[in-house]
Structure formats: structure tokens, C-alpha cells
Amino acid sequence: MPAPLSPAAERWVDDWLARLTPAQKIAHCLLVLPTIGPDGLPDAATRHALELGVGTLHSIRDVPASAATAYHQRVAEICADAGLPPALISGNLEAGIMYSLGQSGTHFPYPRGLGIAADPDLAYRVAAATAVEARAVGYHWTFSPCIDVVSVPDDPILGVRAYGVPAALTGQLGAAQIRGYQDNAVLATAKHFPGHGDSNTDSHLAQPIVNRSQADHDAIHLPPFADAVTAGVATIMVAHIAYPHLGIDVPASLSPTVNRGWLRRDLGFDGVIITDALHMDAIARYHTPTAAALLSLQAGADVANVKCTSEDIQPVIAHLLDALSNGDLQQADLDASVRRLLVARTLVGLHLSDASRTTLADTPTYWSDPQRRATVDSHRVGGTALDPAAKVVVVGDSALARRLAELGSFQLEPEPLVPGVLARVAQRHPGAQLIPVFGPGPIPAAQQWKDVAAVTADAPNRCPAVIVNSTLAAHTFGDVADLVISVPAMDAFDIVTDAAVNAALDVL
């Protein structure tokens, strides 16, 4: 559990709680998407949202570290000028700040790579290094680790973002990453409570309904969250999944039973509860942003993860203020949520005067941990390492194939991986060593096996290696090449981490 606050931190929390108006307290419990003006700094809509008291801005995207740092520094100045506590800057940093910024920071492995390595010390190091870079550019809060236990073969969305290991090891790795983040002044988020790993539906696209038994709930999906609470996790994100066999007929994020019962009462969690993004179709198909925000706060969330643009937040604040006035939202609950959010700020030092921070180069850096090659899974069935004297041709049209060719200095044939392609490429490159790279996002496991088998079956010569972007063990693909490497390199949004690509090159 988190350590008790210092007297100075307690005074800071109490002072802000007394000074904030009801409208500012409501805004404090909302997360919005910021936008960038022509000068690279917060635009007028974002400035206005901050001046209203919005408590969390979710990451700007695809900018270099220097631009992100300047943007976040200006955010802090706007809050100070408005007489408000500093806004939190959140991000999805599961593979490092590069996951959000795109152009800067170290490429760290996805959680599935850490699951393959099965080393809590490595998981801690990755989280700690991520946190140092995150604070350098102004982040305070990461929406990781993902501690869902994947228990269905055709998981549609978690993929490489989950550890992909049993509950006990998931809990150990998650706890290690929580400590790594929070020991280095970044709030960690355990997600997606009470577990997304047995869903066959992507909640970005539809409302998942999971018929989970009580036995599986208790033995598989809850233990990692209990471990996270024991490790002192600062925040927990609640999923948009219904569990009718457990008595939850609405999305968990909108359920008082899940938030106030399972999380607060049963697990003893007193940190910040945040919903998954309310603009996902699991919620947005049935509720307006204003209605979803109210329902989530009524259910016991501290942060309604509205994720609307800054210019659209004022109607949400007005709606919630009306609810507070007419008793649909309770002042005591609002005050408790704001207190938790203020306490969270003290955990990352935002109650202290701004200290000097390290700077981060705009150019990306490579992760060179000695354990790097352990974050991919390989299955060698024959042959030897690649012949350095022979040409290597990477075959595939995915972002992963392109990146492997670039980092390995190999030639690329960017053709779709369909039956017959290897024969055609071999005719164009006589004597070359062909490496097909299968790189789509999560697809049913059976389909991955079929695709790999079909493409490699009619190769004129046995491939020295096959690389598959997958969460599956390499041996499950069979003896389709001398070497099969299962690489958790690319998520469902086609974001490739160079850590996994370099790990594959280490094995090659």
C-alpha cells in the first residue's frame, strides 16, 4: 500500500480541496484530449479546458521529445496562472513514450515480450526506464501495466499488450512494473479491471458480454489485481465489459457493484479509479458523452475518461454541475474523488516546487538490455545461423517486415504473404535466403497457423527463418522453417517496437 502522506502533502491536498469550486472539482474528474496550436503549444480550446479546471490531459501524439516537453511545461504554466493545481499528463506508455510520441524515446518491449522472458527484475527495469523518460518530457501517469490474463484463444484486442502468461506470473510481472513506474514518479494503472482476457469482443467496437464463472473470476482474473493493490498501485482502470453470470448486466465501468463493491470494499483499493475510454463503442453506442460521464461518476469512478477534444468538454461539465445541484451526483463522493486525485499528484511530487528535470533527445534510442533476446520466443528445428555471405531478402508488406529489413540491412520484397509468393521472390533473387515476416495485428490463432503453413508450403527451398508477429509460442507453428521466431512486435494499431525487432535480429 502507498506510504502515508507527509504533513506538507496533507496540507497541500486539504488546501486545494477547500479552494476549488464545485465546477472546478467536476472538471478535475475529467480526462480530455488536448490539441496543439500553430505555435506547437496548447491551442485556445485546450487552454480554456485547463482554465475550467480539467484534471487530466491525455497524451499529444507524434511529436518529438523537445516539443512534448515545451507543450507540457506550458500546460503547467496555464494551470498556475489560473490558480489551479497542475493537470496530470497521461499516456499509454506500455512500450515506452515512443508509443505515444512516435518520434522519440527508447523502444521497449511490449508486455508480451516481458511475459516470454518471465523475469520480474527485467519487468521492473523496463518500467523504471520508461518512467525516467516519461518524466523527462512531462508525463505523470501511464495507463499500464495491462494485467489481464488472456484465457481465450482468439483474443481480439489485447495481443502483445498483455503478458500472455498465467495469473500468478501476470501478478508478479504487473507488481514489478508498478513498482518500477512509481519508484520513478509516474503513476501506474492496473487494467482492465476485472479482467478483459476472456473476451472475444473488442470493446472499441462493441459491448463485450463475458459469461465468466465465479470460479474462474476468483482463480484467474482477480488475483493479478489483488497483487497490484498489494504492490501499491495508484490507479486502476475499469473495463466496459458485462459479466451477467456474476450479476453485472451493465458495463463494469458503469457498475457501482464493480467499483464500490469489488474494488473498494473487497480489494480494499483506495486509489484512483478511472474508466476505460468512454468514447469506445461499448459505451458511445448507447450513451452520450455527458450521460456516460455522469453514469461513471455515479458508479464510483474518480475519473470519467471522456476522451473528447478540449473544445467539447464544457457541456459535460455543465451537465455534471446540474447533476450535483439536483442531487444526482453527491458532493461527498465528488470531494472524495478530488481528494484521491490530489493525493495522486503528491505521489509524483506535484505538490513540491518544480525541480530541475533531465532532457531527452528527439532521436529514438535502442534498448540494449542483456536480456533483450529473451523477449522473443524461438524454435529451431534445423540448419544454422544465416550465411553472412549470402543475400537475405525479407518478404512481407507489413510495418514489421519493413522495420526488420531496415534494422537488419536486408533487402525487402514488400509483397503480401500469399501462397506462391516465395517462389516468385526466389526467381527474382536466385540463391538468396528468404525470410517471410508475418505482421498483421491479432487474428485468430488457427488462422495464423494456416497462413504460415500455406505460404511456406510451396517455397522452392526451405526458409532459414520465419518471423511471425504473434503472442503464440514459436513451436506451435511447427517445422515450417529452420528457425521460427514468434515476435510480439506490433499491436492492433500497427505500432512496432524496435525492441522486439532487434531481439529477433539477436536470435537470427
The span from the CA of 492 to the CA of 404, in Å, is 18
Helix (H) or strand (E) holding 454: helix 445-457
Cα 170 off chain centre by: 15
Cα-Cα-Cα-Cα torsion 283, 342, 96, 151, nearest 10 degrees, comes to -50
> CA 60 to CA 81: how far, in whole Å?
21
In the annotation, is 451 catalytic?
no
What is the rounded distance in angstroms from the CA atom of residue 463 to the CA atom of residue 425? Answer: 12
Given the residues 216, 276, 377, 451, the one annotated as active site: 276
- Is 204 known to be catalytic? yes
| Closest residue by Cα to residue 453 from 27, 54, 169, 463 | 463
Cell 511475459 -> residue? 115
Under 8 Å between Cβ of 58 and 33? yes
Strands (DSSP E) found in 296-338 = 304-309
**For residues 505 and 408, is the Cβ–Cβ distance under 8 A?**
yes
435 within 8 A of 465, measured Cβ to Cβ: yes
Query: Using an 8 Å Cβ cutoff, are 233 and 144 in contact?
Result: no
Pairing of strands 377-380, 483-487: antiparallel
Whether the CB-CB separation of 167 and 223 falls below 8 Å is answered with yes
Burial 425-463 (b: 16+ CB within 10 A, else e): bbeeeeebbbbbbbbbbbbebeebbebbeebbeebeeeb
The DSSP code sequence of 98-143 is HHHHSSSEEEPPPHHHHHHHT-HHHHHHHHHHHHHHHHHHT--EE-
The catalytically annotated residue of 43, 48, 204, 281 is 204
Q: Which three cell numbers stand for residue 335?
A: 470531494
Is the distance from CB of 384 to CB of 479 less than 8 angstroms?
no
- Neighbouring CB atoms inside 10 A of 307's CB total 18
Active site (catalytic) residues: 204, 276
